[in-house]
Amino acid sequence: LLHLLLPPVQAQPHRSAGRGRLARGGGRMGNFHTSGPNQVIMKSGCNGTKVRVGQTCWAWWFFETVQRMSLELLTIEINSVEAETAQGVRVSVRGVAQIKVKAFQPLESDPTKVTINDRAIKLAVKHFLGHSEESVRQALQATMEGHQRQILGTMTVESLYKDRKEFSELVRQHIDDDLSNLGFELASYVVQKIDDENGYMESLGITQTARVKREAAEGRAKNESAARRKVARHDADARQAEAIESKKAHVGVNEQLEMEAESDRDLKLKRAAFQREVNEAQAKAASAGPIEQARQQQHIVRERTRQRQVEEQVNLEIADKVIEREKKEKEGESLAKLLEEQNRAKAKELLAQARADKIRADGEAEAEVIRMKGEAEAKVLATKAEAYKDYGEAAVVQMIMERLPEIAKRVAGPLAKTEKMVFVSSEGSGPSAFTNDMSKMVGHVPEIVHSLTGFDMREAIRNITHQNQSQVTATSAEL
């Protein structure tokens, strides 16, 4: 359409730096636009709005518009005259701010790198595109001055006087948001002067000056006093050092004399020691022969003793081996004897069991015989008892007396089997004592009969004797 409407035109140089041309079909349809690193190009039209910083862009005629805005740093002087502080004292403050368009921002992925801040550039262009640099400066100056007055109203004169850095930081913190909303950022802000018409600041300065002068005078007096003390101390140290050196010299002389005396004494002692060593060497040389002979003799005795010890040790080892062997043989013999004794005990046990069974059987048979014999004897005794009832006591005694020789014979029966008797007596009464013992044994027969039968032979004999005497007495009386 543009081809048809516009006639072909020869390309001519353009006045703007960085502009180009594009020939298409012999006609010009648009231009190239180039911006430096301190300038932004805003291209707007059918393709929207685009921002270019330090780049080249193409703009179509009639359909796109290109506008430029400076990114250079703006130096703005901010004067707050008669501004009230928190105490109501009016002060005048002059500050200098460096402000620029916030055209770049760091990358989130890599803070060391930057990228174009389209949003801030578009805000700055929106507010100030087409304005002169002076009008932009005035607008920013008014914003800065308002914030500066606002911060002054929260601080005292003393804090302003003592800490201007804190005041600058507060101004920076307050102005950052407003400048960001305008697309700008504060690069630098410093306070150049703080003054007042009532002399308040001057009074603070005088007070501070007086304080500094007082501190300087105190410092000078302290330094002079310290210097005098130091000089006096050095003088005292010098006198003390002199006395010490004098003392050292005197002590040195005495030490030298003492060392000379010690040297003489050491020389004499060494001479005596050397003479003693010579005497000892001579005595050793004189006695070396006998000593060496005695040493050799001791060595021979020692070797003989060691040889005897070795022989005794060998003998002990041989004896231990013999004892060990005999011990093992005896242990074997003991084990064999133990097995033999065990077998013999088992054989004896079986033999004893057989004998016991035989004895038990014999005993049972003998017991049966004894029982039958006892029953027969019991019957005989019963018959005799019936007969004894008919006999008188004299007859019974007569029967017992007849049996006494047989009883004595049976008592002496074991002695008849004795082949030889040996009597040991210190008095020579062995045979007679033996006869007395036999008489005593026979004399105990009545007691044995009484204990076995309950019949008292002695009492019966006494009764018979008494009856006989009575009869003799009666006969004598009749006569």
Which residues are within 8 A (CB) of 118 and not within 5 positions of it... i.e. 6 or more apart? 51
Note the pLDDT of residue 433.
66
Instruction: Report the alpha-carbon distance of residue 242 to residue 404 in Å, rounded.
Output: 150
Quote the pTM value.
Answer: 0.37
- Look up residue 417 and give its two tokens: 């089997």
Q: What is the pLDDT of residues 416-451, one digit of tens each?
A: 667 776 666 666 555 666 667 667 776 777 777 767
Which residues are within 8 A (CB) of 115 and not within 5 positions of it... i.e. 6 or more apart? 104, 105, 106, 107
Q: What is the pLDDT of residues 227-275, one digit of tens each?
A: 888 888 888 888 888 888 888 888 888 888 888 888 888 888 888 888 8
- Selection from 49, 174, 46 nearest residue 123 by Cα: 49
171 three-state secondary structure: helix
Note the pLDDT of residue 468.
65
Note the pLDDT of residue 244.
86
CB 172 within 8 A of CB 190: no
Q: What is the pLDDT of residues 136-180, one digit of tens each?
A: 999 999 999 998 888 888 888 888 877 888 888 888 888 888 888
- E strands, 35-151, in order: 39-45, 48-53, 56-60, 64-70, 74-84, 90-101, 104-106, 114-116
Residue 27 predicted with pLDDT over 60: no
Note the pLDDT of residue 398.
66
Region 175-193: mean pLDDT is 89
- Look up residue 376 and give its two tokens: 């027969």
Note the pLDDT of residue 20.
42
- Look up residue 361 and give its two tokens: 């059987």
360 compared with 119, residue with greater pLDDT: 119
Question: Which of 37-46, 134-143, 271-280 is most confident?
Answer: 134-143
Give burial (CB, 10 Å; 0-12/13-18/19+) of 161: middle
Which residues are within 8 A (CB) of 349 and not within 5 positions of it... i.e. 6 or more apart? none
Query: What count of other Cβ atoms lies within 10 Å of the Cβ of residue 120?
Result: 22
Instruction: Report the alpha-carbon distance of residue 152 to residue 165 in Å, rounded.
Output: 13
